[in-house]
Structure formats: structure tokens, C-alpha cells
A and B are shown apart, each in its own frame.
Chain A
Amino acid sequence: MRNTFVATLAELAERDPNIWLLCGDLGFSVLESFAAQFPDRFLNMGVAEQNMAGVAAGLALTGKTVFIYSIGNFPTLRCLEQLRNDVCYHGADVKIVSVGAGFAYGSQGYTHHAIEDVAVMSALPGIEVFVPADPAETRSIVRAIAASRRPSYLRLSRAGEPELSGEPLAGLHRPRWLRSPPADVCVLAAGPIAGACLEAARLLPGNISVASVPCLKPIDDGFVRRVAGQARLIVTVEEHILRGGLHAAVSALLAGERSRAPVVGLGIPEADKLSVAGDRDSLLASAGLGPQAIAERIEAALRAL
């Protein structure tokens, strides 16, 4: 995903001389080619995220489209006030790119788990929030936000994510069906966890559809309402806490609907114990977000209807 990001950005930067890339001293084996190809539009800002965000805003105010890149919580929480005041309040053309969504950095531990970032970024004014599920979505989104002239948050997983089956992305803010049209049970997923949802759907009998929702702000109201009017059960799945993510967005949207399917949220429990080592799959399994656990939780929710 990160390689798709930078390759796409390089394609765009060849055509658009206003595209800049700033990194917070991270990006080994990922950003070198961009840096070599565009030495005048690449800046390693050092380990200084507050300055990176402020500089990005200043650069954007001189007419540049500025991507800032780092991992986990560093380009988001560490410099949150700079993003709020300098980037978003000014409507500066800055794209915040974070690699290592959810448990992508596995055994690196708690500091490297980005599990509240979507909630925090979504609260900022005027920003758009994107959580692509696979390289193809990443490519489409990078192309679109490079031309959007507004702040965006792009939450990437890491490397090696497979391309998921299903229809292509129809528009920047549109969800994408990965499995069958609207059905009895509709799973809405944000990010590569959509792959686990597809596996879970295959484990279950009956008619289960799965959609990737790569844009969480603004969420596609019409799509969510349509699905909620047709399905018997909606299940949201995200590699993030439930507060402030996909589940919160969908639930808030549907709260006032008189007739609609119930919404069950599957996400990462809010941290209340010490983080233990483990790769992404193992940590997701502990959080009840492996394919088998997702299938079982959907079955349990169906029984409870």
C-alpha cells in the first residue's frame, strides 16, 4: 500500500510541479525513488512532526500541494494542533499520510498502534478522511486527493496488502461492493480488514454482502441509508476503536431512522491493558477481528435478531 502510494504520487508529480512530499525521517526503502526523482520537492523534515505540519501549511499557502508522510500516530496525534490550526483552519492543501493503520506494526508495540487516529482526524474541520482497503483503492484515492485542493487524511496499512475482488471504486466518496449486492446481512468494512470480512462471509451460509467504505468523512449518506433500508443486519468492521470510526459514523447517520436494520460494530477494544507482542494477524485475532471470529460474531448477532 505504501509503495502504491509513493508510485502513484511520483506519477502525479511528473505532471504537476506543485506536488511536494515531506517526511518525518521515515520511509526507508519506500521514499528513496521519489526523493531521487524530485530532489527539489522532497524534504526530510527530521524527527520533528510539529514543524513538518506547520511547514506543510506554510508551503501550501504559497500554492503547493503538500503530502506529509510518517508512521502510526506521528503525523497525526503528535502534531494535532498544527493540523487543526495551521492546516485545517486555513483550508491548506495538505495531505496527511500515515502508514501503519491499526495493528499493522504488530510487535512494535502500543506506541506504534494507530487505533484512534480516524476519530481524531475526523473531528478536524474541513478535512476528508480516507481508509483504503487495497492498492487499487489507494491509487484512485491518491489521484483524487492530489487534485482536491483541500486537507485530507490518508490512512494506509503497510505493505503487501492483496488486491480485493469486487467492483472498482466508482468515485472518491463512494463505497465499493466487494461481494454481492445488498443482502440480508451487509458488512461494511474500512481498510484492509475488508479482506478478513470477505473470508468471514465465505465461512457463513446465507446471503452476506461485503462493501469497502474507503471514505469515512464525508461518509456516503445515501449509500448507508439504502443499505440500512434493505438489509436485516448491518455489521461494521474496522481496525480502529469503535468511538469515532466507521461504526460511529454509520450509527450516527442511522440513529434517527424509523425503520432500519440494527448496526453491530466490530472494532479494536479501547486499550485497558499492557500491549503484548504479536504480528498483525495475532493481534487482530485477540481483538476478535480474525475471519473466524468475525463470522462467529455475525452469526451471534443474527441469532439475537
Chain B
Amino acid sequence: MSNTPDINDFAKRIRAHALRMVHAVNASHIGSCLSMADILAVLHTEVLRLDPTDPANPDRDRFILSKGHATAILYAALAERGFFPVSELETYCRNGSALTGHVSHGVPGVEASTGSLGHGLPMAVGMAIGLRADGRKSRVVCLLSDGECDEGSNWEAILFAPHHKLDNLIAIVDFNKIQSFGRVTEVLNLDPLADKWRAFGWHVLELDGHDIGALRAAFAGIPAVAGKPTVIIAHTVKGRGVSFMEDRLEWHYKSPNVDQLAQALKEIGA
């Protein structure tokens, strides 16, 4: 098992990649990438059972990024994990590249294309059913944004998964409190979010999504309740790690300029 310094280093590297990637092509969604960096780092250093040399192994864990706009940092994590060369990250969003601005399954290590919100969890549920039917030990992890909890399709899946006792399914909500056009509390309030999932029959864990120790402990204990799917409500900060991006809506859209990139890389210690 990895130790915390390794995880922190992985998180630092994928943050730096994502910053450079969006800067290079003037892309959006860096705030959404940075809020889930620590979650991805824990998943890829010690949770997800994946083999980059055998990406189609039927016994692998499945990870679906339902908030498919935060794709730069997912591609960075997959490259760091060894699914493709880190140098390919330079093609992100460039003409002819497989690395599109929303997640695409042509990329090694990507299980499902997403980008329209509210699609990932139903697909994850289907995978969880299929894997369980085949007697596999694989787990399915689906990372959602808070904004996409507005989508009714998610609540159809949230209702369905506990009814079918899918304890091989883990949802994570990157609860950074900001959605596309405003604060969650102002656009469409989700509170009390944990109670809503609990009422639908999920085992709910609530934690600081930047606390590596808390994330490790949470994943290590899943499934905590046999026969129940687990959701981790991860309280996060949009733009986490870069002072001028933190908790700022505009970094859903803006891309750092040369000076901002240098400042951001310095702040994350890259």
C-alpha cells in the first residue's frame, strides 16, 4: 500500500499537468479539475485495481467520471498511472487528438464517454449489475459533480441501486458548492445532500475531499454495510490549491495566462 507522501505527490503532479494542459489550449474547467485532484490521487494510487498493461481485464475495477468536463485531470491521472505516455497530454484539445475536452472512451483507461451530465451513474449501475452477475469482485466507482445532482436521471439511478443492493457500487460527489452559473445554494439548493442519499437507501460517508487520510480510510472500509451502495459526499473547494482560483466561479471557464500559470504552479509546489 502506498503511503501519504506518494499520494500527495501524485496529486501535485496531476494538478500541474491539468494547469499546463488548460493553459496551453485556453481550455475551461480547471476549477472543476482541481477540486477532485486529491480524490483522483487516492483512487489511482491505492484504490482502483487496474493494470495499464491489461486495460481490458474483465476483473478490473471500473471508474466513470460522470462530471466529464473535468477531463484534463483525468487524462493526467491515466497518463501518470501508465495508460499512455505523459507526453501525449500535450495534445489535449488539439486538432486530431483523442484527448477531447469531455471524456472520451477512445482514450486508454477510460471506461465511458461522458460530458452530458447525469449519464455516468446509470451506466455505473449497469456495470455493477453485470459484474455482480458474473461473480466478479470488481467495484464500480462513479464521480459526480454537485451541479449534476440536479439531473433527474441521477435520482432514478440513486433510487434503483439500493433496491438492488449494489454494494459493489461507490458514488462520490465532488461537493465544491459551485455549479455552472452560480453557487449551489443559490441555483438549486441540494442541502441536506447526505440526508437525501441516506433516505434513498445509500450508505453515506461525508468527509473533507482534500483530506488524504480521510479518503484512504473511507475507501478502505467500503462496503461498510453489506448490500448497500456507498456514496462519499466529499466536501471540496473548487480550484483547490491555487489561491486565486479557490471558490471562484470564474475558474469554471477561465484559463490561466502565462503569469497565472507560473503563480499556480508555484503555489501547488510543482
Contacts and interface: CB of A to CB of B under 8 A. Distances in A.
A and B co-occur in one complex: yes
Contacts of A64: 130, 133
Contacts of B105: 89-90
Nearest to A47: B156
A62 B160 contact: no
A81 interface: yes
Contacts of A81: 116, 119
B131 interface: yes
A7 interface: no
Interface residues of B, number: 30
A85 B125 contact: no
A74 B172 CA distance: 30
B137 to A, nearest CB: 13
Nearest to A54: B122
Nearest to B152: A50
Contacts of A85: 113-116, 119
A13 interface: no
Interface string A36-64: 00001101011010110111111111111
Given A50-B153, A55-B129, A86 B159 contact: no
A46 B133 contact: no
Given A48-B159, A82-B153, A90-B113, A56 B119 contact: no
A58 B153 contact: no
B185 to A, nearest CB: 26
Contact of B160 (A48, A53, A90): A48
B112 interface: yes
A66 B171 CA distance: 24
A62 B131 contact: yes
B40 interface: no
- Specify which of A54, A60, A81 lies most central, judged by the most chain B CB atoms within 10 Å of its CB: A54
Interface of B: 58, 105, 111-116, 118-119, 121-131, 133-134, 152-153, 156-157, 159-160, 164
14 contacts: A48-B156, A50-B156, A51-B122, A51-B153, A54-B121, A54-B123, A54-B126, A55-B125, A58-B125, A58-B127, A59-B127, A61-B111, A62-B127, A62-B131
